[in-house]
Amino acid sequence: MAFWWTVFVLGFAYAICRFLVMLIPPNVPSIEVDASDVVDDGNQAPENSYIYIPPRVKTQQQDKKVQCYEPANMKYLGFVPALTRDEVKERVASARKAQNEWAKSSFKQRRLLLRIILKYIVEHQKLICEISSRDTGKTIVDASIGEVMAICEKITWLLSEGEKWLKPESRSCGRATLHKKARVEFHPLGVIGAIVPWNYPFHNICNPVLAAVFAGNGIVVKISEHASWSGCFYIRIIQAALAAVGAPESLVDVITGFSETGEALVSSVDKMIFIGSTGVGRMIMKTAAKTLIPVTLELGGKDAFIVCEDVDLDHVVNVALRASITSSGHNCNGAERFYVHKNIYSSFVDKISERVKAITVGPPLAGKYDMGAICTQEQSEKLQSLVNDALDRGAKIVARGTFGHLPEGAVDQYFPPTVIVDVNHTMKLMQEEAFGPILPIMKFSTDDAVVKLANDSKFGLGCGVFSGSQQRARTIALQIRCGSVAINDFATNYFCQSLPFGGVKESGFGRFSGVEGLRACCIVKAVVEDRWWPYIQTKYPKPLTYPVADNAFEFQMSVVEATYGLNIWDRLRALINVVKMLSQENTSAKHNSVIGDGDKKAD
């Protein structure tokens, strides 16, 4: 009893000490980042205050500049350069030079870097969210959830577990090499390239950067031409943090431009991470094949949202709206196909239609239900085309949101949230990625039927399954071919940063986030060495020493059977054969040696 009492007291004391240590604020330096040119204080220069009208005919790279504007009101923000191939190669070369130095950094230095970034994010949440909102049209609430919170979670996971998963990992040696030690080591790849979309500008830059830099790499990120204004500010945060820990600022860089800029990046780096459309993903692979660099692709999605008849309907409707209607839905691969059990189909449609009709579409900083702008007029036109195709094939619109307080020059940038029924898989709306606030709803009658429907897609990014029985939801979800599943929820996988993220089929391959994503930023090196060097080393037996003996193959077969045979008696018999042949070989060798010595004496 006294022993256990002592153990309890020591454990309690340890817990108290850990708690007290947590109360001590960490000594993390603060950084200053110039935000004077991105804060909307109403005093912008006249040339940056007019309404921007995008040209109907794209000129892209020949303009040598990327025009930036707020999609919610078309207010002009300025421009950034469209970098040429040579300029991209110069940026990558600078990052490579910096990486040679950073590869020698300690995990202590890398953790300090992450803490500095985390401190700045927490202290400047509003600034980060407002910049993201202005550049993409999303609400600042959705920017906080999908960008700030997600990145804070990623940093916290890297601080907690990152070093553990990058340390050398011991592996078993097997039977053939019992005298060896085996391990896997994780070394920096060099300079990683990333091409990211516009939907989450802060997150899409930080997500690959944090993993790459923590693994000892440099990284150059090509940001979307539709979110270049915000991206050029966000990189200042990372570079200021690098300077604070004594690392070269060129270790992390962003580049701006169009397709030529992105292609030049793919041709210059040691690995590519691409987030975007399936079509562009294929082009990335084609270019990457020329230099045979590894590629991680997170491409299109057509995620299924499955609702069984035994659910809490009000709860599911709330999740469905978050997954498809709000900015975090239309700005990412949210739920794009809804399958509802026939017994509750009408009730689900009625409830969600009622909620959608109450939504007022408007500028992101006004109202509770604003979903903001689509970001590009072309995307709005694509959504309308998908809806028109569905209507032509027999679908019906049962609910749409309304517009309110839209700037006159930005009306075409918006698309109202839309509920559509009587849809089927012959319609483009159910087969192509929509990337917008549309809810096409189908009914199903059995679990097997809904699994077939969910798998009838060229995409396979994620899905959500809802049921009053968690076991039933799990059974359905695990039959769906996709990269991630959420049971009785949707897309929460992404907040669990220990999990890998990515898809299958035309949704891409490879993973980022989690252990898999972190190690994907490394050269995975297999190392084997002698366990008891120099006393025991690999030495080939006489029958296998060149020139091999006449019975070499018989000897090798006996070795294999003695080592791997399933029957213990067969293994023993084979072992005896091995010993016998070795004895014969030694006897023969001694005999030859004696004859040789006799010949020498005769001479």
- % of the chain beyond a pLDDT of 90: 68
- β-pairing, 252-255 vs 218-222, is parallel
Residues 270 and 330 occupy one common structural domain: no
**485: Cβ contacts below 8 Å, ≥ 6 apart:** 462, 463, 464, 465, 477, 478, 493
Most confident of 37-46, 235-244, 332-341, 494-503: 235-244
Q: How many residues does the chain have?
A: 603
Exposed e or buried b per residue across 5-31, where buried means at least 16 C-beta atoms within 10 angstroms of its C-beta:
eeeeeeeeeeeeeeeeeeeeeeeeeeb
Residues 360 and 343 occupy one common structural domain: yes
Residues 333 and 287 occupy one common structural domain: no
Residue 253 lies in a domain: yes
CATH number at residue 281: 3.40.605.10
Residue 587 has pLDDT above 70, yes or no: no
Residue 108 lies in a domain: yes
Residue 593 has pLDDT above 70, yes or no: no
Instruction: Using the structure block, give the residue that is written with the tokens 């669990």.
Output: 496
Residue 334 lies in a domain: yes
Residues 150 and 107 occupy one common structural domain: yes
Residue 567 burial by Cβ neighbours in a 10 Å radius (0-12, 13-18, 19+): exposed
Residue 179 has pLDDT above 60, yes or no: yes
* Residues 189, 95: Cα–Cα separation, whole Å: 13
Residue 34 lies in a domain: no
pLDDT tens, residue by residue, 95-140:
999 999 999 999 999 999 999 999 999 999 999 999 999 998 888 8
The secondary structure of residue 159, as a DSSP letter, is I
- Half-sphere CA count of 361, side-chain side, radius 13 A: 27
pLDDT for 364 equals 77
Q: Work out the pLDDT band at 53, boundaries 50, 70, 90.
A: low
Residue 528 has pLDDT above 90, yes or no: yes
pLDDT for 329 equals 44
Q: Work out the pLDDT band at 324, boundaries 50, 70, 90.
A: confident
Residue 23 lies in a domain: no
Residues 114 and 257 occupy one common structural domain: yes
Residues 109 and 181 occupy one common structural domain: yes
Q: Which residue has the higher pLDDT, 46 or 348?
A: 348
Residue 234 lies in a domain: yes
Residues 148 and 209 occupy one common structural domain: yes
Out of 199-203, 401-405, 455-459, pick the least confident: 401-405
**282: Cβ contacts below 8 Å, ≥ 6 apart:** none
| pTM of the predicted model as reported, rounded to 2 decimal places | 0.90
Residues 139 and 185 occupy one common structural domain: yes
Q: Which amino acid is at 128?
A: I
pLDDT for 328 equals 47
Residues 340 and 451 occupy one common structural domain: yes
Q: Which residue has the higher pLDDT, 548 or 469?
A: 469
Residues 287 and 319 occupy one common structural domain: no
* End-to-end CA, the chain: 86
**426: Cβ contacts below 8 Å, ≥ 6 apart:** 393
Q: Work out the pLDDT band at 536, boundaries 50, 70, 90.
A: confident
Q: Work out the pLDDT band at 492, boundaries 50, 70, 90.
A: confident
Residue 211 lies in a domain: yes
Residues 243 and 308 occupy one common structural domain: no
Residue 16 lies in a domain: no
Residues 312 and 274 occupy one common structural domain: no
Q: Which amino acid is at 503?
A: G
Mean pLDDT across the chain: 89
Residue 600 has pLDDT above 80, yes or no: no
> What's the mean pLDDT in 158-184?
94
Residue 298 annotated among the catalytic residues of the structure: yes
> What's the mean pLDDT in 368-388?
80
pLDDT for 370 equals 60
Taking a C-beta distance cutoff of 8 angstroms, is the pair 258, 281 a contact? Answer: no
Taking a C-beta distance cutoff of 8 angstroms, is the pair 149, 495 a contact? Answer: yes
Residue 41 has pLDDT above 70, yes or no: no
**329: Cβ contacts below 8 Å, ≥ 6 apart:** 321, 322, 323, 335, 371, 437
DSSP, collapsed to helix, strand or coil, labels residue 42 as: coil
Q: Which of 130, 298, 433, 561 is catalytic?
A: 298
Task: Indicate the number of domains in the chain.
Answer: 3
- Half-sphere CA count of 76, side-chain side, radius 13 A: 16
CATH number at residue 361: 3.40.309.10
Domain of 174, in residue numbers: 79-299+518-525
